[in-house]
C-alpha cells in the first residue's frame, strides 16, 4: 500500500482551500487546512486576552493551544478547548489579526511541528488512525513543512481574480465597492505574511497552477492532472 502526500501553497484568494479540499475528497485523502491552525491560534490568543504584540506570551499560549482539528475533507472541524470555532475563525477580525500571530517565529515552529505530525500520521500506511494519504495546504507546505511531499503545487491567480474571489466570499458580491473593501486587507495580509514565508514564486520542483481563468472544477481538474502525472 502506498500513500500520497500533496502539498499546495498559495496567496489568499487563490482558491487553495476549496480546491485542496475537493481534491482530497475525489482522491479519498485526508485534508489539512494549515491556515485554520493559524486562525485558531489567533482566536485562542484573543479569547484568552493575550495581547498580540506580546510575542513571548503569544508563543506560550500557542504552545498550549488545545486544538482538535479534523482531517476529513467532508467534515473539517476546528475545535479549541471544546468550542467549535469553525465559523468564528473566518471572521474579519481574525483575518485582520492572524498575520501578527503567524509572523511570530516561535508560533510557526510549534504549528509546523503539529502539521508535520498530522501529515506523518497519514503518510504511514501502518498508522493506527491514518494511512490514507493527505492534501495539506497553506503558505509554506511545499517549502518548509513538507518539502518531501510527493506532489508540490503553487496555486496562483492574478491580483484581480484573487480580490474578486475574496469579495464574493466575504461580501457576497464582486462589484467595485466590494472589491475595494477587500483590497486593503488582502494585500496587506499577503505583504505581512511574505515577511516570513515565500509563497508568491514557485520553489524548485514546485509546479505552478494558475487559476486566474479557471473555475473551481477546472482548477480541481488541473491539480488532479498534476497529481496523476507525478504519482
Ligand atoms: O489560508 P488562510 O487565509 O486561512 O490563512 C490564514 C493566515 O494564516 C495567513 O494569512 C497566514 O498569516 C497564516 N498562514 C501561514 N502559514 C501557512 C498557512 C497560513 O502563515 N502555512
Measured distance CA(189)–CA(203) in Å, rounded = 21
Indicate whether residue 138 lines ligand 1 (CB < 6 A).
yes
| SS3 of residue 169 by DSSP | helix
- Closest ligand 1 atom to residue 9 Cα is 21
Q: Ligand 1, atom 16: nearest CA belongs to which residue?
A: 139
- pTM for the structure as a whole: 0.95
- Closest ligand 1 atom to residue 115 Cα is 21
Centroid of ligand 1 to alpha carbon of 227 (angstroms): 23
Crossing angle (nearest 10°) for helices 92-102 and 105-123: 100
Measured distance CA(34)–CA(136) in Å, rounded = 7
| C-beta of residue 119 within 8 angstroms of C-beta of residue 134 | yes
Stretches where the chain sits below pLDDT 70 are 1-2, 125-130
Rounded to the nearest 5°, which phi and psi values hold at 215?
-85, 180
Ligand-binding site membership of 16 (annotated): yes
Measured distance CA(173)–CA(180) in Å, rounded = 11
Mutate which of 20, 100, 102 for ligand 1 pocket (most atoms within 8 A of beta carbon) = 102
For residue 181, the model assigns a pLDDT of: 87
Q: Ligand 1, atom 12: nearest CA belongs to which residue?
A: 99
Centroid of ligand 1 to alpha carbon of 107 (angstroms): 12
For residue 129, the model assigns a pLDDT of: 58
Indicate whether residue 39 lines ligand 1 (CB < 6 A).
yes
Q: Which three cell numbers stand for residue 125?
A: 500506511
The CATH superfamily label for domain 5-230 reads: P-loop containing nucleotide triphosphate hydrolases (3.40.50.300)
Indicate whether residue 189 lines ligand 1 (CB < 6 A).
yes
Amino acid at each position: 500500500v502506498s500513500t500520497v502526500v500533496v502539498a499546495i501553497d498559495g496567496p489568499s484568494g487563490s482558491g487553495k482551500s476549496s480546491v485542496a479540499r475537493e481534491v482530497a475528497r475525489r482522491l479519498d485523502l485526508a485534508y489539512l487546512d494549515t491556515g485554520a491552525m493559524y486562525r485558531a491560534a489567533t482566536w485562542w490568543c484573543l479569547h484568552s486576552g493575550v495581547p498580540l504584540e506580546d510575542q513571548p506570551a503569544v508563543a506560550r499560549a500557542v504552545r498550549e493551544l488545545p486544538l482538535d482539528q479534523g482531517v476529513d475533507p467532508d467534515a473539517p472541524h476546528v475545535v479549541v478547548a471544546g468550542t467549535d470555532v469553525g465559523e468564528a475563525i473566518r471572521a474579519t477580525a481574525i483575518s485582520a489579526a492572524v498575520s501578527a500571530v503567524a509572523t511570530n517565529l516561535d508560533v510557526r515552529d510549534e504549528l509546523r511541528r503539529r502539521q508535520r505530525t498530522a501529515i506523518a500520521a497519514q503518510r504511514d500506511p501502518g498508522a493506527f488512525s491514518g494511512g490514507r494519504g493527505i492534501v495539506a495546504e497553506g503558505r509554506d507546505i511545499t517549502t518548509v513543512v513538507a518539502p518531501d511531499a510527493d506532489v508540490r503545487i503553487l496555486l496562483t491567480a492574478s491580483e484581480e481574480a484573487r480580490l474578486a474571489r475574496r469579495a464574493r466570499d466575504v461580501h457576497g458580491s464582486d462589484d467595485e465597492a466590494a472589491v475595494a473593501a477587500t483590497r486593503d486587507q488582502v494585500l496587506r495580509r499577503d505583504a505581512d505574511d511574505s515577511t516570513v514565508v515565500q509563497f508568491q514564486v514557485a520553489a524548485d520542483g514546485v509546479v505552478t497552477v494558475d487559476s486566474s481563468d479557471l473555475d473551481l472544477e477546472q482548477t480541481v481538474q488541473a491539480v488532479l492532472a498534476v497529481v496523476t502525472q507525478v504519482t
